[in-house]
Structure 1
């Protein structure tokens, strides 16, 4: 799937193109499934979400996508740890827009890959990388020392210990449902905020409390929280500040602005990251997925030629897990 100009889902077109050649440090992967993430539609729309001065020049045609799961078909001479026939998954070349995973074949940096867990299928594996790495790098281990482009500071994950209270807003979505599970795995008391139809899904993932935001404002009924993970962001994100205890931490996953004087007066730290590709972290996560200690929610699947319809589903919001493209066999 590629597009020749920025626009709506209708600009995505299905084409036959040559199988990519691999370079040093790369493997060729026959893609079985590709996960859909917000940067995919940001790119399709021409990166309008970014300030004009920060937008890179785009050279068309472009193949979107960062997340995929598939089987290795060729390996560069300098690559170790992967062989033809291995099942792998990964988030490719992010931050950046050269992942090109909406395709049947992709040239993938070996450093961005991990072996796919045997306990899950390609659809589940393809749905995991960006969302789970975002939650992991926020909560468990950043894995690099690159300052956030949004704050200029290097994020320091807050150690989650038994007895802490963690609130996850937008808990049913990609990042949210992994954040719920990771916080719970560390012994936290987890409050999940989402619409009512997601309650059973989130309770099965370990949420201790559930708040239906369509009928109850979390900030009206919750206080003394140690950590808020807000996967929704936007101008209303600051309403969660009153739910935090003094000394608490706010982690906005999407764009959100906070008044430094207000957060300082409340003793609250605001921190965020830009997720980065990391094969070794995915290998750690793969063990949790294989052992059933971490689960991938799949909202829906679409055949690759119907990527436009998949983007339309994403625009509707209220996802329960991830949207995944499946390749033609």
Structure 2
């Protein structure tokens, strides 16, 4: 089958197209013919030798990617049968092997794809909204009426975070560039902050929950706007010891959340997608042969919504 392997970390030239054996499924696994693959910042970081590379470098061949949507062609699980359309984040934070024609996936990591969305939209709705679900719903327990600040609200994680926070009944403030203001508001945000012309800590306060998908000084600055008893979650980099101590002194709960594969959580997202209460914004698609271009687009840090690779 077709696959893309990483023999050594580095630039996109290290994404090597090759042919390998089709995987054999184990107990409670399904063989998925992959129709679409979502590309995340963690894919780029891992290809560069950061991200998940430390966990994965002993695998040979090393196949990146976790987010898939496709069709079951074989199953050893009572959950799914051949012909079922499924989607999910496979084996994260382990070896997902999504950059391939077929993936042997644990049935426990998948859900049935809603019929009203495409494979591209489904592949997009995996790692990013799972991160949001596990962060806002399970960890943060965000409730109706709470004030939620979402950094990078037009991005992959951010655009789902706005929608899910609104679904929970929160008052949502999203940051992005001015060019993406209308997009962020169209997702349901109550307020928008142009991060280039406004310092968010000077225009918002009394925040219950901050979701930070940027890192850097956004973490420290976010502490200035969270009320005592509030929560700060940083996705990309976690919290330094200094920030953790500062948060504790202010009565703020600070955390780094690493998303985990979960079919049950995927089913919750599938329900929202099926009802039209959650939607994927796929801004760009690339052919499997152009995986390098997809990586470069995500690496640019200028993607609105999601980038998806179509596996024809």
Mark yes or no: TM-score above 0.5: yes
Could you report, residue by residue, the CA deviation over 1:161-182 in whole angstroms, capped at 9, with x for unpaired residues? 2221100001111111111111
Residue of 246, 250, 269 corresponding to 1:285: 269
Could you report, residue by residue, the CA deviation over 1:5-30 in whole angstroms, capped at 9, with x for unpaired residues? 11111111222222211111111111
- Equivalent position SS for 1:242: coil
Which residue is 2:105 aligned to?
A: 108
Which residue is 1:315 aligned to?
A: 299
- CA–CA distance in structure 2, aligned partners of residues 40 and 159 of structure 1: 28
- CA–CA distance in structure 1, aligned partners of residues 89 and 255 of structure 2: 23
- Whether the 8 Å contact between 1:176 and 1:231 is mirrored in structure 2 is yes
Which residue is 1:226 aligned to?
A: 208
Q: CA RMSD in A?
A: 1.6
Change (3 A) 1:250 1:233: same
- CA shift at 1:158, angstroms? 2.8
- Whether the 8 Å contact between 1:86 and 1:115 is mirrored in structure 2 is yes
Aligned length: 307
Could you report, residue by residue, the CA deviation over 1:161-217 in whole angstroms, capped at 9, with x for unpaired residues? 222110000111111111111111111110000111111111111000000101111
- CA shift at 1:56, angstroms? 5.6
- Whether the 8 Å contact between 1:3 and 1:13 is mirrored in structure 2 is yes
- CA shift at 1:90, angstroms? 0.8
- Equivalent position SS for 1:140: helix
- Whether the 8 Å contact between 1:194 and 1:212 is mirrored in structure 2 is yes
Residue of 31, 40, 48 corresponding to 1:28: 31
Mapping of residues 169-208 of structure 1, within 5 Å: 169-208=151-190
- CA shift at 1:55, angstroms? 5.3
2:248 is aligned with 1:264: yes
- CA–CA distance in structure 1, aligned partners of residues 277 and 194 of structure 2: 26
- CA–CA distance in structure 1, aligned partners of residues 55 and 70 of structure 2: 31
- Whether the 8 Å contact between 2:44 and 2:299 is mirrored in structure 1 is no
2:13 is aligned with 1:15: no
Which residue is 2:148 aligned to?
A: 166
- CA shift at 1:234, angstroms? 2.2
Which runs of 5 or more structure 1 residues have no equivalent in the other structure? 142-156
Residue of 276, 300, 303 corresponding to 2:284: 300
Q: Which has the higher strand share?
A: 2
- CA–CA distance in structure 2, aligned partners of residues 136 and 55 of structure 1: 24
- Whether the 8 Å contact between 1:168 and 1:192 is mirrored in structure 2 is yes
- CA–CA distance in structure 1, aligned partners of residues 251 and 85 of structure 2: 47
- Equivalent position SS for 1:101: coil
- CA–CA distance in structure 1, aligned partners of residues 43 and 104 of structure 2: 18
- CA–CA distance in structure 2, aligned partners of residues 57 and 100 of structure 1: 13
Task: Select between 298-307 and 10-19 the one with higher mean Cα deviation.
Answer: 10-19
- CA shift at 1:265, angstroms? 2.5
Which residue is 1:144 aligned to?
A: none
Residue of 102, 115, 131 corresponding to 1:118: 115
Could you report, residue by residue, the CA deviation over 1:214-237 in whole angstroms, capped at 9, with x for unpaired residues? 111101111111111111112442
- Whether the 8 Å contact between 2:41 and 2:299 is mirrored in structure 1 is no
Which residue is 1:87 aligned to?
A: 85
Which residue is 1:130 aligned to?
A: 127
Which runs of 5 or more structure 2 residues have no equivalent in the other structure? none
